[in-house]
Amino acid sequence: MSELESTETDAPTLPTEEQSSGGLPTVVIIGRPNVGKSTLFNRIMGSQKAIVEDRPGITRDRKVLEASWLEVPFLVIDTGGWMPQGDGSELDDKVSKQVEEAVATADVVMFVVDASVGLTDDDSLIANWLRRSRNDVMVVANKADNDRRETDRWEFLALGLDDPFPVSALHGRRAGDLLDEVISRFPEEARAHRDVDPHAPVEKDENPDAPRIAIVGRPNVGKSTLFNKLVGEERAVVHDMAGTTRDAIDTLVETEDGPMVFVDTAGMRRKGKIDDSAEYYSMVRALRAIDDSDVALLVIDGTEGVTAQDQRLAERVDASGCPILIVLNKWELVSADDRIEVMSELHRKLAFVGDAPILKISALSGKNVGRLLPHLRDSIAQYHTRVPTRDINKIISAAQQRHPGPKGAKVLYAVQGATDPPTFTLFVNREIPPTYMRYLERVIREECGLGSTAIKMRVRKKT
């Protein structure tokens, strides 16, 4: 494993997903805790994109995804429950700040209230704030799943906003009518392309192949702090309470090497220690983010060193096939004497990840964070590498001439069958011992410049 350290202190300043969205209209879903905002978000998206549970405080970060209705594309932002500053805990205040930042970018605000509960003091406080914001606000009376509750929605006229719109996000009741009203409030240019020739070619997403970088690690090691430094804003809620991040948050940013998608994930503990269903679903989303990623940044708390859970996470990333970069965070808090021991333990416990780069950073101050992007670029290039058949056979032939296979075992022919990660198929005359396979893998890695990316080796006995 290679070690990388520098005196660079400035993290890259990058535009966020909202700034890189190509001018799509933005719809923000807000409201007090536990009124069904994430359920409505999932209904609009048409799938289970946000974690939903029947208790307040599940959503904390804002989640941004692209949706469409009647061929009109727009961005939808799910947010946590808003509370007046100072009325809740420090974490509640940070969640509320995320909501306020989302509203500042909105074309339409969907203010969700609970028709089954009726008007509350918190609803009135949110309405007072929204009237000052001068946004286009729709009052959405959620959980109106029968005629009586639809009639009860008129109670929300006391908020002094628009006529309340009844909907049941859980059952889909009037969801289509709600989206009709939403897109009718967009600027005309956002709806104009509905009138074009339906047989005309559709413009493709300009960033369909943007590489995905998952930031993974145990709870409270600084993943969200690093994520915010990389995207250039307070995009994720950061708190010293373990488990602050619930869902995987994607943000598309433009870098000097092109667009990249950074994914902040929830901290992962051992399954035996998970006693909460929301945490379980957070872990499932984090594992899915690893499987869908081109590179994984494994964040380790430098003050604690490599733990057994760090080892298991590294094994999980390695098994997924994507390259891994080891990030030692909070390095400025580690004493000079302890640094030698931490590095020695890291090399011993994570030896199976090979030559994965090791970056020693401070996500809080930004020191050495700027060093990540060049190594991300190299890892992504290695992950997508394709070696010509002629070259791979030359490499293996030379390796066998230097060290012939035991008991007459020989690779007759080799091809690269796939990328992401590079996958090689070896046609052999007889079974190849594991030690010799590791030798061939090491030679291929060195000769093809594959660095720390995973390699898959498949063996076929030629008949």
pLDDT tens for residues 28-87?
888 888 888 888 888 888 766 654 444 444 444 567 788 888 888 888 888 876 665 555
Q: Residue 19 pLDDT > 70, yes or no?
A: no
Average pLDDT, the chain: 77
Task: Give pLDDT, residue 191.
Answer: 60
Per-residue pLDDT tens over the stretch 190-199: 666 554 443 3
Can you tell me the mean pLDDT for 446-450?
86
Q: What is the pLDDT of residue 392?
A: 93
pLDDT of 15 strictly over 90: no
Does the pLDDT value for residue 96 go beyond 80? no
What's the whole-number mean pLDDT along residues 247-274?
A: 67
pTM above 0.75, yes or no: no
pLDDT digits (tens, 9 = 90+) for 270-326: 555 445 444 455 566 667 778 888 888 899 999 998 988 888 888 888 888 788 899
Choice between 438 and 253, residue whose per-residue pLDDT is larger: 438
What confidence score (pLDDT) does residue 206 get? 43
pLDDT mean over 103-121: 87
Q: What percent of the chain has pLDDT over 70?
A: 75
Query: What pLDDT is recorded for position 55?
Result: 41
pLDDT at 399: 93
Say if residue 398's pLDDT is above 60: yes
Q: So what's the pLDDT on residue 244?
A: 40
* Average pLDDT of the segment spanning 107-135: 86
Q: Which residue has the higher pLDDT, 398 or 97?
A: 398
Band (248; pLDDT cuts 50, 70, 90)? low
Higher pLDDT, 325 or 249: 325
Percent of the chain with pLDDT over 90: 16
According to the 3-state scheme, what is the secondary structure of the chain? CCEECCCCCCCCCCCCCCCCCCCCCEEEEECCCCCCHHHHHHHHHCCCCCCCCCCCCCCCCCEEEEEEECCEEEEEEECCCCCCCCCCCHHHHHHHHHHHHHHHCCCEEEEEEECCCCCCHHHHHHHHHHHHHCCCEEEEEECCCCHHHHHHHHHHHHHCCCCCEECECCCCECHHHHHHHHHHCCCHHHHHHHHCCCCCCCCCCCCCCCCEEEEEECCCCCHHHHHHHHHCCCCCCCCCCCCCCCCCEEEEEEECCEEEEEEECCCCCCHHHCCCHHHHHHHHHHHHHHHCCCEEEEEEECCCCCCHHHHHHHHHHHHHCCCEEEEEECHHHCCHHHHHHHHHHHHHHCHHHCCCCEEECECCCCECHHHHHHHHHHHHHHHCCCCCHHHHHHHHHHHHHHCCCHHHCCEEEEEEEECCCCEEEEEECCCCCHHHHHHHHHHHHHHHCCCCCCCEEEEEECC
